[in-house]
């Protein structure tokens, strides 16, 4: 199951604390060293793990915990709260979907991370909420990409706007006019991916953003890539500016490092998570639930 190793490691640390009754500062320090190791093994960013443990230690060494009759339980509670905070707080962060007029979402990310699938998942998600989304095919380099969007669009029962291999920014612009004429209130732009970050790709994304007013630039990253996913998010944010992340393939992620590090490293929240290959396998990202899963 998910996070098996991290969950197991943490529960081992807490078990040791529980066996102690009252806790000394040395006990907490030792426990936090182990928590830090467990986080690093889960592929959490080094600085994030360090800051996290410092924060937990500081709170755990406070009077309430030290004088409590159940100090170990208090430490678990603090870890839970801090994990939740690390990932964005109790509630999922919402996309900037407008109630009136058109909202434009631009999907970007590296090839194979789940961009096209998640464009369609989002389309279906909003269609089910009574909105009228439109998918836009701006990945013009691989003919298969347009076909793929058409297929998932059909499955999601969301229309797809395409203009073959026209310039992406022109396609985006025409799609806006089309959406206006056809009453589509959420325009979801699928853009090209590459195997690696390159300048041409970044320039293209910037040009789209200069041509249409994008409300949310969503970076689609594969949770299984761990810290590498977080580095990609950092670079995309620096180059084109992102509003948040869609973390995909969390169903296959056994470590949790990306989920834990994205916000702290990039300053950008995770909006949604992909939990499977099917178009319904999309969930708003609840930091508190994720913390709960990690703590087992
Ligand atoms: P793109 O190149 O970024 O557009 O990636 P695709 O949307 O084509 O997805 C690449 C592969 O990942 C496909 O086989 C998808 O079915 C799969 N995939 C996408 N999202 C998820 C997810 O949340 N969980 C799992 N298990 N597979 C996913």
> Do the bridges between strand 160-161 and strand 244-248 make them parallel or antiparallel, or are there none, so unpaired?
unpaired
Pocket lining: 274 vs ligand 1, CB cutoff 6 Å = yes
DSSP 95: P
CA distances from 51 to 38, 83, 117, 223, 267 (A): 14, 12, 35, 22, 15
CA–centroid distance, 236 to ligand 1, in Å, is 19
| Sign of CA pseudo-dihedral 133, 192, 268, 172 | negative
Q: What atom in ligand 1 is closest to the CA of residue 113?
A: 3
So what's the ipTM on this one?
0.99
Structure-token match 């594969």, residue found:
222
Predicted confidence at residue 129, as pLDDT, reads 97
CA–centroid distance, 272 to ligand 1, in Å, is 14
Predicted confidence at residue 21, as pLDDT, reads 78
Indicate whether this model's pTM tops 0.90. Answer: yes
Pocket lining: 21 vs ligand 1, CB cutoff 6 Å = no
CA–centroid distance, 25 to ligand 1, in Å, is 46
Pocket lining: 112 vs ligand 1, CB cutoff 6 Å = yes
CA–centroid distance, 116 to ligand 1, in Å, is 8
Would you give the distance in Å from CA 13 to the centre of its chain? 28
Q: What atom in ligand 1 is closest to the CA of residue 248?
A: 23
Predicted confidence at residue 4, as pLDDT, reads 84
Pocket lining: 232 vs ligand 1, CB cutoff 6 Å = no
Predicted confidence at residue 20, as pLDDT, reads 86
Distance CA 206, CA 95 (A): 20
Distance CA 242, CA 96 (A): 13
Pocket lining: 109 vs ligand 1, CB cutoff 6 Å = yes
Over the chain (296 residues), the average pLDDT of each successive run of 10 is: 86 93 91 97 96 96 85 94 97 95 97 97 98 97 93 98 97 98 98 92 97 98 96 97 98 94 97 98 96 93
């Amino acid at each position: 199951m998910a996070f098996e190793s991290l969950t197991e490691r943490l529960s081992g640390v807490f078990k040791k604390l529980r066996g102690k009754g009252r806790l000394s500062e040395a006990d907490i320090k030792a426990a936090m060293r182990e928590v830090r190791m467990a986080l690093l093994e889960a592929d959490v960013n080094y600085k994030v793990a360090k800051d996290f443990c410092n924060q937990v230690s500081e709170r755990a060494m406070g009077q309430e915990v030290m004088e409590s009759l159940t100090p170990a339980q208090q430490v678990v509670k603090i870890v839970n709260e801090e994990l939740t905070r690390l990932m964005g707080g109790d509630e999922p962060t919402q996309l900037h979907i407008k109630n009136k007029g058109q909202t434009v979402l631009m999907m970007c990310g590296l090839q194979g991370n789940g961009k096209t699938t998640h464009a369609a998942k989002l389309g279906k998600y909003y269609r089910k909420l009574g909105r009228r989304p439109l998918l836009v095919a701006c990945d013009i380099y691989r003919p298969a990409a347009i076909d793929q969007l058409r297929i998932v669009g059909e499955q999601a029962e969301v229309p797809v706007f395409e203009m073959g291999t026209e310039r992406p920014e022109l396609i985006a612009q025409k799609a806006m006019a089309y959406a206006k004429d056809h009453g589509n209130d959420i325009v979801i732009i699928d853009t090209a991916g590459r195997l690696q970050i390159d300048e041409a790709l970044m320039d293209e994304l910037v040009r789209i953003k200069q041509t249409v007013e994008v409300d949310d630039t969503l970076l689609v990253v594969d949770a299984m890539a761990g810290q590498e996913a977080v580095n990609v998010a950092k670079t995309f944010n620096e180059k084109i500016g992102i509003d948040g992340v869609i973390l995909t393939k969390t169903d296959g992620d056994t470590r949790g490092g990306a989920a834990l590090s994205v916000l702290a490293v990039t300053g950008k929240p995770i909006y949604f998570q992909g939990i499977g290959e099917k178009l319904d396998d999309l969930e708003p990202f609840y930091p508190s639930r994720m913390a709960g899963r990690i703590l087992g």
